[in-house]
Chains A and B, each alone.
Chain A
Amino acid sequence: MIRYILRRLVLMVPVALLVTVGVFALARLSPVDPVLVFAGEERDPAMLDAIRHQLGLDQPLPVQYVAWLSHAAQGDLGRSFQNKQRVTEAIFERLPATIELGLAALLISITFALVIGILSAVKRNSAVDLLSTSITLMGVSFPSFFLGVVLILLFAYVIPGRIFPPGGYVPITQDVGENLRRLVLPAVTLATASLALNLRQVRSSLLEVFGHDYMRTARAKGLREGAVIVRHALKNALIPVVTLVGIQIGAIIEGAVITETIFSWPGVGRLAVQAIPSHDYPVVQGVVLVSALSFMLSTLFVDVLYGWLDPRISYESAAA
């Protein structure tokens, strides 16, 4: 297995380098001169030249790329044009809020996916199965920002008592209750899309497993239906679900972009969105890079985990 992981890591290097080229190119594609953005009100040509030199933008592009990459490799993604804060620092400051939101959403998504998915697979063509199919269909087609707006309207304004606030964030260290109260609506909004995918996966995996001979054997030897489902069906059916969830963990920042914007949640996604209108490229670049790398690492982790959970997968044949 170690050989397989090492091989995957080596293969990841050229792809990661191409990703960094892409991220670097993003900022250079812009028609807006970053020097003018950095300089703010300053328009003195000598001053602008000095800033250009200071930022290294007077160098040829390959030199700029190598310099940017070597800094990035040491965790230095530059400074924000807006407030001159280090981008790495800005991202790490906001990462806990994003992770909290992402994990809460995943928890909701997995819990509901398991409960409804198992019931709908066991009671096929029942009312629960119809509910499961409807959630799947709605979840993949319902835009999260519209769902967020509907939830705000209902729970913050229409239903008396303002059960949940329309947005904002209170750190968990400051007030646990208020933090959780403000977490509910964004977490439900973020959970909906992944719930649809997880639910579909749980149901279809279970239905596939139900057709296998060992299920018949388990029933034939007199096991109760609950034990058959939990000990034999779920154990095998959850392998693809685990991999799907692993990929969703890697894509937490992507999912959070919209939700954090709707609910004024001060996470990494909102940081990127706020940086866009002011052409704060180092910030956008930093968020794109961090989310791409975390996505790549989670994919690798999922591949390894998949093989560990399912002994039928041979690392030797995968490596060959």
Chain B
Amino acid sequence: MAGTTVPISLGRARSDRLSSAAYFLRRNPRMIIGGLIVIAWLLAALFAPFVAPYDPIKVNVVDSLQPPNPQHWLGTDDLGRDVLSRVIWGSRVSLSVGLISVSIGLLVGTSVGLAAGYLGGKFDLFVMRGIDALLAFPALILAIGITSALGPQIQNAMIAIGIVAIPAYARLTRGQVLAVRAREFIVAARTIGASPLRIVVRHIFPNVMNALIVQATLSTAFAILAEAALSFLGLGPQPPYPSWGQDINYSQRYLPNLKWWMSVGPGVAIFTAVFAFNFLGDALRDALDPRLRRSG
């Protein structure tokens, strides 16, 4: 009898899971829209050499300043470079800076937050004052200060935006750790002799994960915007390498001649990428944090 019921119950569980996933996605169109745009940009960045119709840095003066046309969908700049190709290649810069800087912030901030929250005492006091000091700087000003000191390079932009992101993760993780460290399962783990490292990694960290996923998604949106702002100010990748912010800055000199297409391509690219990560982050927050789902 058991032999007949088991496969049926498993099949039902799987179909239940699939239908609940489909129901969830239907109920969360923001996740589908945001997720699809994010995936599209990730694919464009990964396969830029195959997707981009032209070499983004090849000068072709004969084709300069062409408005959008069938050969150049987003037109060309003053050096005849294809705007669409530069937008596609520029996604590599924006997304890599976004993802790497968020990883820096996530890794350092989460470690600091876990240690400060679990250890408490003087360690918590001193480390969190350092985090407070980082928070005292307006984010973009700090990123500009660090990048201008280290030099205008893409890896320095990643470091700067990563440092700016640390406090958010540290405070978030510390708060969550403080909330769970007195719970019964942590006391039980301590009672049976689990080491502090094991307690933090195996018992506390999984409880912080959901909040971190949401924060990481939202801060990727900020990182892309910050990278574009740094590039706009000349503190990102240097010409002729394509970068969305830098290309908008460059296009400014052609505004009096109404060559609008030079700035529209990279501008819309930044907007869609930031919008998608914000949308996805909001949807994930609703899905992963039941407290917000109830209040929201």
* Interface: B67 (CB within 8 A): no
Asked whether, in the complex, the Cβ of A29 is within 8 Å of the Cβ of B149, the reply is: yes
Asked whether, in the complex, the Cβ of A19 is within 8 Å of the Cβ of B137, the reply is: yes
The contact of A150 among B228, B233, B256, B267, by CB within 8 Å, is B267
Asked whether, in the complex, the Cβ of A257 is within 8 Å of the Cβ of B271, the reply is: no
Asked whether, in the complex, the Cβ of A291 is within 8 Å of the Cβ of B150, the reply is: no
Number of residues from B at the complex interface, CB < 8 A: 45
* Interface: A287 (CB within 8 A): yes
Asked whether, in the complex, the Cβ of A258 is within 8 Å of the Cβ of B151, the reply is: no
- State A261–B103 Cα separation when bound (angstroms): 30
* In the complex, residue of chain B having the shortest beta-carbon distance to the beta carbon of A276: B148
* Interface: B188 (CB within 8 A): no
Asked whether, in the complex, the Cβ of A257 is within 8 Å of the Cβ of B258, the reply is: no
Docked complex: B253-267 residues within 8 A CB-CB of A = 255-256, 258, 260, 263, 266-267
Known: A30-B150, A158-B258, A276-B235. A149 touches B133 (CB 8 A): no
Which A residues lie within 8 Å of B275 (CB)?
Answer: 137-138, 141
Asked whether, in the complex, the Cβ of B138 is within 8 Å of the Cβ of A258, the reply is: no
Q: How far is the CB of A276 from the nearest CB of chain B, in Å?
A: 4
Asked whether, in the complex, the Cβ of A152 is within 8 Å of the Cβ of B255, the reply is: yes
Stretch of A20-28, A82-90, A226-234, A312-320 on the interface side:
A20-28
Asked whether, in the complex, the Cβ of A295 is within 8 Å of the Cβ of B148, the reply is: no
* In the complex, residue of chain A having the shortest beta-carbon distance to the beta carbon of B132: A15
Asked whether, in the complex, the Cβ of B145 is within 8 Å of the Cβ of A149, the reply is: no
- State A292–B148 Cα separation when bound (angstroms): 16
Asked whether, in the complex, the Cβ of B133 is within 8 Å of the Cβ of A15, the reply is: yes
Which B residues lie within 8 Å of A138 (CB)?
Answer: 275
* Interface: B87 (CB within 8 A): no
Asked whether, in the complex, the Cβ of A31 is within 8 Å of the Cβ of B252, the reply is: no
Which A residues lie within 8 Å of B267 (CB)?
Answer: 143, 146, 149-150
Asked whether, in the complex, the Cβ of B133 is within 8 Å of the Cβ of A153, the reply is: no
Asked whether, in the complex, the Cβ of B270 is within 8 Å of the Cβ of A146, the reply is: yes
Docked complex: A131-169 residues within 8 A CB-CB of B = 137-138, 140-143, 145-146, 149-150, 152-153, 156-158, 166
* Interface: B225 (CB within 8 A): yes
* Interface: B278 (CB within 8 A): yes
The contact of A143 among B138, B144, B146, B270, by CB within 8 Å, is B270
Q: How far is the CB of A293 from the nearest CB of chain B, in Å?
A: 8
* Interface: B274 (CB within 8 A): yes
Interface of B is mostly: helix
* Interface: A116 (CB within 8 A): no
Asked whether, in the complex, the Cβ of A19 is within 8 Å of the Cβ of B133, the reply is: yes
Which B residues lie within 8 Å of A292 (CB)?
Answer: 136-138, 141-142
Asked whether, in the complex, the Cβ of A143 is within 8 Å of the Cβ of B133, the reply is: no
- State A146–B244 Cα separation when bound (angstroms): 10
* Interface: B140 (CB within 8 A): yes
Known: A141-B274, A149-B251. A273 touches B233 (CB 8 A): yes
Encoded as 1 (CB less than 8 Å from any A CB) or 0, chain B from 111 to 142 comes to 00000000000000000011011101111111
Asked whether, in the complex, the Cβ of B137 is within 8 Å of the Cβ of A149, the reply is: no
Asked whether, in the complex, the Cβ of B129 is within 8 Å of the Cβ of A14, the reply is: yes
Which B residues lie within 8 Å of A146 (CB)?
Answer: 248, 263, 266-267, 270-271
Asked whether, in the complex, the Cβ of A143 is within 8 Å of the Cβ of B274, the reply is: yes
- State A253–B138 Cα separation when bound (angstroms): 9
* In the complex, residue of chain B having the shortest beta-carbon distance to the beta carbon of A291: B141
- State A6–B54 Cα separation when bound (angstroms): 63
Asked whether, in the complex, the Cβ of A295 is within 8 Å of the Cβ of B232, the reply is: no
Known: A15-B129, A149-B263. A143 touches B150 (CB 8 A): no
The contact of B278 among A18, A140, A250, A284, by CB within 8 Å, is A140
The contact of B148 among A253, A258, A284, by CB within 8 Å, is A284
Closest 8 CB pairs of A and B: A18-B133, A254-B138, A146-B267, A141-B275, A29-B149, A141-B274, A276-B148, A288-B145
For the complex with contacts A142-B271, A276-B235, 18 further pairs of A-B residues with Cβ separation under 8 Å are: A22-B133, A22-B134, A26-B146, A137-B275, A138-B275, A143-B267, A145-B248, A149-B248, A153-B255, A153-B260, A156-B255, A166-B255, A253-B138, A253-B141, A258-B140, A281-B149, A288-B141, A296-B136
